Amino acid sequence: MKISKSQVPYLLLFPGFAFLFTFFVLPIINLAQTSTQTPISGGDTGQYTQTFAFSNYIHAFTDNKDQFLRSFVYATLATILALAISYPLAYAIAFKSGKFKNILLVLVVAPFFTSFLLRTVAWKQILGEEGFVVPTLRSLHIIGQQTTLTSTAFAVVTGMTYNFLPFMTLPLYASLERIDPRTIEASGDLYANGLTTFRRVTLPLSMPGVVAGTLLTFIPAAGDYVNASILGSPSTKMIGNVIESRYFKIVDYPTAAALSFTLMVAILILVTLYIRKAGTEELV
Protein backbone atom coordinates (compact mmCIF):
# COMPACT_ATOMS: atom_id res chain seq x y z
CA MET A 1 0.00 0.00 0.00
CA LYS A 2 1.47 3.27 -1.14
CA ILE A 3 1.21 6.23 1.22
CA SER A 4 0.81 9.66 -0.34
CA LYS A 5 2.55 12.73 1.00
CA SER A 6 -0.77 14.20 2.14
CA GLN A 7 -1.37 11.18 4.41
CA VAL A 8 2.00 11.34 6.17
CA PRO A 9 1.01 14.09 8.67
CA TYR A 10 -2.10 12.14 9.71
CA LEU A 11 -0.07 8.97 10.21
CA LEU A 12 2.40 10.87 12.38
CA LEU A 13 -0.43 12.29 14.46
CA PHE A 14 -2.20 8.94 14.86
CA PRO A 15 -0.15 7.66 17.87
CA GLY A 16 -0.82 10.88 19.78
CA PHE A 17 -4.53 10.85 18.97
CA ALA A 18 -4.75 7.16 19.91
CA PHE A 19 -3.07 7.86 23.25
CA LEU A 20 -5.37 10.80 24.03
CA PHE A 21 -8.46 8.85 23.02
CA THR A 22 -7.52 5.85 25.15
CA PHE A 23 -6.31 7.63 28.26
CA PHE A 24 -8.32 10.87 28.18
CA VAL A 25 -11.48 10.70 26.08
CA LEU A 26 -12.61 7.22 27.18
CA PRO A 27 -12.02 7.91 30.91
CA ILE A 28 -13.95 11.19 30.61
CA ILE A 29 -16.87 9.37 28.96
CA ASN A 30 -16.79 6.70 31.67
CA LEU A 31 -16.67 9.40 34.35
CA ALA A 32 -19.70 11.14 32.84
CA GLN A 33 -21.63 7.86 32.74
CA THR A 34 -20.76 7.03 36.34
CA SER A 35 -21.81 10.47 37.60
CA THR A 36 -25.49 9.86 36.72
CA GLN A 37 -25.83 6.40 38.26
CA THR A 38 -27.72 5.42 41.41
CA PRO A 39 -27.27 2.47 43.82
CA ILE A 40 -28.99 -0.78 42.94
CA SER A 41 -31.86 -1.38 45.34
CA GLY A 42 -30.89 -4.25 47.62
CA GLY A 43 -27.48 -4.56 45.96
CA ASP A 44 -24.08 -4.70 47.60
CA THR A 45 -21.99 -1.64 48.34
CA GLY A 46 -20.45 -0.25 45.17
CA GLN A 47 -23.11 -1.62 42.82
CA TYR A 48 -24.81 1.05 40.71
CA THR A 49 -27.11 1.24 37.72
CA GLN A 50 -27.53 3.93 35.07
CA THR A 51 -30.62 6.04 35.81
CA PHE A 52 -29.43 9.39 34.38
CA ALA A 53 -29.79 10.99 37.81
CA PHE A 54 -28.46 14.45 36.99
CA SER A 55 -29.57 15.51 40.45
CA ASN A 56 -26.32 13.91 41.62
CA TYR A 57 -24.53 17.06 40.48
CA ILE A 58 -26.80 19.33 42.50
CA HIS A 59 -26.49 17.23 45.66
CA ALA A 60 -22.73 16.80 45.23
CA PHE A 61 -22.18 20.56 44.90
CA THR A 62 -24.54 21.70 47.64
CA ASP A 63 -23.19 19.15 50.11
CA ASN A 64 -19.58 20.14 49.43
CA LYS A 65 -19.73 23.81 48.45
CA ASP A 66 -17.45 24.80 51.35
CA GLN A 67 -14.75 22.43 50.13
CA PHE A 68 -15.13 23.77 46.59
CA LEU A 69 -14.71 27.35 47.75
CA ARG A 70 -11.81 26.42 50.01
CA SER A 71 -10.03 24.64 47.16
CA PHE A 72 -10.17 27.66 44.87
CA VAL A 73 -9.17 30.06 47.67
CA TYR A 74 -6.17 27.93 48.65
CA ALA A 75 -5.17 27.44 45.01
CA THR A 76 -5.41 31.19 44.35
CA LEU A 77 -3.30 32.04 47.41
CA ALA A 78 -0.69 29.43 46.49
CA THR A 79 -0.56 30.74 42.92
CA ILE A 80 -0.12 34.35 44.04
CA LEU A 81 2.63 33.40 46.50
CA ALA A 82 4.36 31.22 43.91
CA LEU A 83 4.29 34.12 41.43
CA ALA A 84 5.68 36.54 44.02
CA ILE A 85 8.55 34.15 44.79
CA SER A 86 9.20 32.85 41.29
CA TYR A 87 9.29 36.10 39.32
CA PRO A 88 12.33 37.60 41.10
CA LEU A 89 13.99 34.17 41.02
CA ALA A 90 13.37 33.69 37.31
CA TYR A 91 14.45 37.28 36.60
CA ALA A 92 17.71 36.75 38.48
CA ILE A 93 18.43 33.49 36.66
CA ALA A 94 17.63 34.98 33.26
CA PHE A 95 19.56 38.26 33.57
CA LYS A 96 21.93 38.14 36.56
CA SER A 97 23.14 34.58 37.02
CA GLY A 98 25.89 34.53 34.36
CA LYS A 99 27.82 31.26 34.35
CA PHE A 100 25.73 29.92 37.25
CA LYS A 101 22.54 29.86 35.17
CA ASN A 102 22.51 26.12 34.54
CA ILE A 103 23.28 25.33 38.17
CA LEU A 104 20.41 27.49 39.37
CA LEU A 105 18.02 25.87 36.90
CA VAL A 106 19.02 22.44 38.19
CA LEU A 107 18.34 23.62 41.74
CA VAL A 108 14.87 24.79 40.67
CA VAL A 109 13.93 21.34 39.37
CA ALA A 110 15.86 19.47 42.09
CA PRO A 111 12.73 18.96 44.25
CA PHE A 112 11.33 16.76 41.47
CA PHE A 113 14.08 14.27 42.25
CA THR A 114 12.22 13.52 45.50
CA SER A 115 8.73 12.09 45.88
CA PHE A 116 5.89 14.62 46.11
CA LEU A 117 4.70 12.79 49.20
CA LEU A 118 8.08 12.94 50.94
CA ARG A 119 8.43 16.65 50.24
CA THR A 120 5.05 17.27 51.84
CA VAL A 121 5.88 15.15 54.90
CA ALA A 122 9.11 17.15 55.24
CA TRP A 123 7.08 20.34 55.51
CA LYS A 124 5.08 18.77 58.33
CA GLN A 125 8.34 18.38 60.24
CA ILE A 126 9.61 21.85 59.29
CA LEU A 127 6.42 23.52 60.52
CA GLY A 128 6.04 21.19 63.50
CA GLU A 129 7.16 21.66 67.08
CA GLU A 130 10.46 19.91 66.33
CA GLY A 131 11.26 22.26 63.44
CA PHE A 132 13.01 25.60 63.57
CA VAL A 133 10.16 27.78 62.29
CA VAL A 134 7.81 27.63 65.27
CA PRO A 135 10.49 28.20 67.99
CA THR A 136 11.93 31.10 65.98
CA LEU A 137 8.53 32.79 65.54
CA ARG A 138 7.78 32.29 69.23
CA SER A 139 11.10 33.79 70.29
CA LEU A 140 10.32 36.83 68.12
CA HIS A 141 6.83 37.01 69.69
CA ILE A 142 5.21 36.76 66.27
CA ILE A 143 3.06 33.83 67.40
CA GLY A 144 1.93 32.81 70.87
CA GLN A 145 3.47 30.05 72.93
CA GLN A 146 0.48 27.79 72.31
CA THR A 147 0.13 28.58 68.61
CA THR A 148 0.97 25.83 66.14
CA LEU A 149 1.39 25.96 62.37
CA THR A 150 0.60 22.37 61.43
CA SER A 151 -3.02 21.33 60.80
CA THR A 152 -3.79 24.87 59.64
CA ALA A 153 -4.66 26.60 56.38
CA PHE A 154 -1.26 28.31 56.55
CA ALA A 155 0.51 24.95 56.43
CA VAL A 156 -1.62 23.72 53.53
CA VAL A 157 -1.02 26.84 51.41
CA THR A 158 2.69 26.79 52.27
CA GLY A 159 3.01 23.18 51.17
CA MET A 160 1.11 23.83 47.94
CA THR A 161 3.22 26.89 47.17
CA TYR A 162 6.46 24.97 47.65
CA ASN A 163 5.41 21.86 45.76
CA PHE A 164 4.19 23.76 42.70
CA LEU A 165 6.92 26.44 42.69
CA PRO A 166 8.90 24.92 39.77
CA PHE A 167 5.76 24.96 37.61
CA MET A 168 5.72 28.73 38.02
CA THR A 169 9.46 29.40 37.82
CA LEU A 170 10.31 27.52 34.62
CA PRO A 171 7.71 29.18 32.33
CA LEU A 172 8.66 32.58 33.74
CA TYR A 173 12.33 31.91 33.10
CA ALA A 174 11.64 30.73 29.55
CA SER A 175 9.65 33.89 28.84
CA LEU A 176 12.17 36.27 30.43
CA GLU A 177 15.12 34.57 28.78
CA ARG A 178 13.64 35.28 25.33
CA ILE A 179 13.53 39.03 25.95
CA ASP A 180 16.16 40.82 23.88
CA PRO A 181 18.46 42.72 26.32
CA ARG A 182 18.72 45.49 23.75
CA THR A 183 15.02 46.22 24.30
CA ILE A 184 15.67 46.88 27.98
CA GLU A 185 18.75 48.93 27.14
CA ALA A 186 16.68 51.00 24.70
CA SER A 187 14.25 51.95 27.46
CA GLY A 188 17.20 53.25 29.49
CA ASP A 189 18.34 55.27 26.50
CA LEU A 190 14.87 56.84 26.50
CA TYR A 191 15.43 57.94 30.13
CA ALA A 192 13.18 55.34 31.73
CA ASN A 193 14.20 54.35 35.26
CA GLY A 194 14.33 50.74 36.45
CA LEU A 195 10.76 50.65 37.73
CA THR A 196 9.35 52.16 34.54
CA THR A 197 11.38 49.76 32.41
CA PHE A 198 10.04 46.81 34.36
CA ARG A 199 6.45 48.05 34.24
CA ARG A 200 6.39 49.11 30.59
CA VAL A 201 8.84 46.67 28.96
CA THR A 202 9.87 43.62 31.00
CA LEU A 203 6.51 42.71 32.53
CA PRO A 204 4.46 42.99 29.30
CA LEU A 205 7.03 40.95 27.37
CA SER A 206 7.02 38.26 30.09
CA MET A 207 3.23 37.95 30.26
CA PRO A 208 3.18 34.65 28.30
CA GLY A 209 5.28 33.15 31.07
CA VAL A 210 3.10 34.67 33.77
CA VAL A 211 -0.06 33.27 32.22
CA ALA A 212 1.46 29.84 31.59
CA GLY A 213 2.97 29.68 35.08
CA THR A 214 -0.23 30.67 36.86
CA LEU A 215 -2.22 28.10 34.90
CA LEU A 216 0.31 25.32 35.54
CA THR A 217 0.20 26.18 39.26
CA PHE A 218 -3.49 26.89 39.80
CA ILE A 219 -4.94 23.90 37.95
CA PRO A 220 -3.13 21.13 39.87
CA ALA A 221 -3.36 23.10 43.13
CA ALA A 222 -7.16 23.32 42.90
CA GLY A 223 -7.45 19.54 42.70
CA ASP A 224 -4.69 18.72 45.16
CA TYR A 225 -5.48 16.61 48.22
CA VAL A 226 -2.06 15.47 49.47
CA ASN A 227 -1.11 18.76 51.12
CA ALA A 228 -4.48 19.17 52.81
CA SER A 229 -4.40 15.55 53.97
CA ILE A 230 -0.89 15.68 55.47
CA LEU A 231 -0.53 19.31 56.53
CA GLY A 232 -4.16 20.16 57.25
CA SER A 233 -7.05 19.10 59.45
CA PRO A 234 -10.73 18.24 58.88
CA SER A 235 -11.47 21.97 58.79
CA THR A 236 -9.04 22.50 55.89
CA LYS A 237 -10.26 19.69 53.64
CA MET A 238 -10.31 20.51 49.95
CA ILE A 239 -12.54 19.05 47.25
CA GLY A 240 -9.76 16.64 46.29
CA ASN A 241 -9.96 15.11 49.76
CA VAL A 242 -13.70 14.65 49.39
CA ILE A 243 -13.32 12.97 45.99
CA GLU A 244 -10.58 10.68 47.31
CA SER A 245 -12.74 9.73 50.29
CA ARG A 246 -15.80 9.07 48.12
CA TYR A 247 -13.84 6.84 45.76
CA PHE A 248 -11.73 4.79 48.14
CA LYS A 249 -13.43 4.91 51.56
CA ILE A 250 -17.16 5.49 51.17
CA VAL A 251 -17.27 3.80 47.72
CA ASP A 252 -19.76 6.37 46.42
CA TYR A 253 -18.67 6.41 42.78
CA PRO A 254 -21.50 8.57 41.35
CA THR A 255 -20.93 11.40 43.82
CA ALA A 256 -17.16 11.22 43.36
CA ALA A 257 -17.58 11.29 39.57
CA ALA A 258 -20.03 14.20 39.77
CA LEU A 259 -17.61 16.14 41.98
CA SER A 260 -14.72 15.39 39.61
CA PHE A 261 -16.70 16.50 36.58
CA THR A 262 -17.91 19.65 38.34
CA LEU A 263 -14.36 20.50 39.37
CA MET A 264 -13.08 20.06 35.81
CA VAL A 265 -15.83 22.24 34.37
CA ALA A 266 -15.29 24.94 37.00
CA ILE A 267 -11.54 25.00 36.32
CA LEU A 268 -12.15 25.07 32.56
CA ILE A 269 -14.47 28.07 32.90
CA LEU A 270 -12.04 29.95 35.15
CA VAL A 271 -9.09 29.20 32.88
CA THR A 272 -11.02 30.35 29.79
CA LEU A 273 -12.01 33.62 31.47
CA TYR A 274 -8.48 34.16 32.74
CA ILE A 275 -6.85 33.60 29.35
CA ARG A 276 -9.33 35.93 27.67
CA LYS A 277 -8.67 38.60 30.30
CA ALA A 278 -4.93 38.27 30.87
CA GLY A 279 -3.72 36.03 28.05
CA THR A 280 -1.65 36.93 25.06
CA GLU A 281 -1.90 36.08 21.39
CA GLU A 282 0.59 33.26 21.97
CA LEU A 283 -1.78 31.48 24.33
CA VAL A 284 -5.27 32.25 23.01
Q: Give the model confidence (pLDDT) of 55-98 as tens digits.
A: 999 999 999 999 999 999 999 999 999 999 999 999 999 998 88
Q: Give the model confidence (pLDDT) of 201-223 as tens digits.
A: 899 999 999 999 999 999 999 99
Residue 70's contacts (CB-CB under 8 Å, 6 or more residues apart) are 236, 237, 238, 239
Host H or E run for residue 194: helix 194-197
Output the furthest CA–CA distance in the chain (Å, rounded): 80
Instruction: Quote the CA–CA distance of 254 and 49 in Å, as a whole number.
Output: 10
Instruction: Quote the CA–CA distance of 275 and 118 in Å, as a whole number.
Output: 33
Q: Residue 76 is which amino acid?
A: T
The arrangement of secondary structure in 65-96+116-284, i.e. its CATH architecture, is: Orthogonal Bundle (1.10)
Q: Are 72 and 273 in contact (CB under 8 A)?
A: no
Closest to 31 in 3D by CA, of 258, 247, 269: 258
Q: Against a cut of 0.85, is the pTM above it? A: yes
With a cut of 50, say whether residue 282 has pLDDT above it: no
Q: Residue 245 is which amino acid?
A: S
Q: Give the model confidence (pLDDT) of 131-182 as tens digits.
A: 889 999 999 888 888 888 999 999 999 999 999 999 999 999 999 999 888 8
For residues 236-248, average pLDDT: 93
Q: Residue 232 is which amino acid?
A: G
